[in-house]
Amino acid sequence: MISTKVVTGLEEVPQTWVYENYCNLPEPLMGQDVVIKSLFNPNDKRPSFSIYYKNGMYKWRDFSIGEGGDYINLVRYLFDLDHFSAIKKIVSDYQTFLRSNKEGYSLSNIVPQARYHVGSVQARSWNNLDAVYWAQYKISSDNLNRFNVKPLERFVFTTEDDSRPELVRTGNFIYGFFNKDGQIMKIYQPRNKDLKFIKVHDYIQGLEQLEYKQPNLIITKSLKDIMCLSNFGYNAEYIAVESESIILRKEMVDIFKKRFNAICTLFDSDDAGKLATANYQKTYDINGIHCPLAKDPTDAVEKYGLETTRSSLTPLLKEVLKK
């Protein structure tokens, strides 16, 4: 029998149905987190669209475009609608769904799953494999020590309520990014394509190393870029945001504008990097450049060497920093 239920308002539409319907999820949402390929970026090669349960409701974030929000915002972005038009569409589509599905919608019991986090890390001594890896980007041990990068013997994933078993990770090419107090902030696994970066705490890379002695500030997207660029001899200092989809707070940008004569961004030359560059220009009137030789400066140094990479970047930086 076809449902004759009349949906009169948004409060009658389960938020889980919105995600399951518009994101075409293969299974019902019951408290678990879900990661799928971007709904907005057709060039997304790895899943970057996250649906997660927080504070009693599901939310979403697309890391490939730097946008996110609740289920109403999702429909707004998907169909280019204003707030009220998005609500109207959700209600109408749910009504249509009920009329065409005699079984209706089975509302699942939401049981939030305990999330894994990094519980502990164990550092080790540097070895020859480490030296070879960092040398290809012309990053020295002095640079690594200055920015508190250490090789890790292992790290352990745990849950706060111990409801799931510990997961121990070991191997070569595992590095910890620490703050000046020795607290682990991020884990970097360059040879792990599925889990290259693990965020442990909020972290603006390079912030603790700022001396405010140079006239220029360059905002990039990784600590590896900072350490590589530090060898170029520019009259600049560097910081890196956690992700190109994250924009610095206005209060922080205001401080930087007072302490430095000029600021620019140097993000990746891919779609995410170009979008981030545009966001900084629009939000803070901070212009940016991209590495002309490769996706980022470290890749360019690896492929073409430091001098060639510096020669390609120097005129671009001179131009953007004088504006």
Q: Tell me the C-alpha distance between 294 and 309, whole Å.
A: 9
Model confidence pLDDT, tens digit, residues 53-90 = 888 899 998 877 778 899 999 999 999 999 999 999 99
- What's the rounded Cα separation, in Å, for the pair 52 and 70? 10
Q: What is the pLDDT of residue 166?
A: 72
Cα–Cα distance for residue pair 316/292, rounded to 1 Å = 9
CA dihedral 61, 72, 39, 191 (to 10 degrees): 10
For 220-234, write each residue's pLDDT tens digit. 999 999 999 999 999
With a CB cutoff of 8 Å and minimum separation 6, the contacts of 37 are 44, 46, 47, 48, 49
Question: DSSP letters of 52-103?
Answer: EEETTEEEEEETTTTEEE-HHHHHHHHHT--HHHHHHHHHHHHHHHHHH-TT
In the chain, what are the domain boundaries? 10-100, 114-202, 204-323
Output the CATH code of domain 204-323.
3.40.1360.10
Q: With 70 as the cut, is the pLDDT of residue 164 above it?
A: no
CB 143 within 8 A of CB 128: no
**Each residue of 198-212: pLDDT tens digit?**
888 888 999 999 999
Question: What per-residue confidence (pLDDT) applies to 2?
Answer: 44
Window from 97-111, 118-132, 273-287 with minimum mean pLDDT: 97-111
- Amino acid (one-letter) located at 237: E
Q: Identify the bridge partners of residue 240 per DSSP, sorted by sequence position.
A: 205, 220
Q: For the domain with range 10-100, which CATH number is right: 3.50.50.60, 2.40.110.10, 3.90.580.10, 3.90.1170.50?
A: 3.90.580.10
pLDDT value at 6 more than 80: no
Q: What is the mean pLDDT of residues 178-183?
A: 95
- Please write the tens of the pLDDT for every residue from 241-264: 987 777 899 999 999 999 999 999
Of the two residues 267 and 164, the one the predictor is more confident about is 267
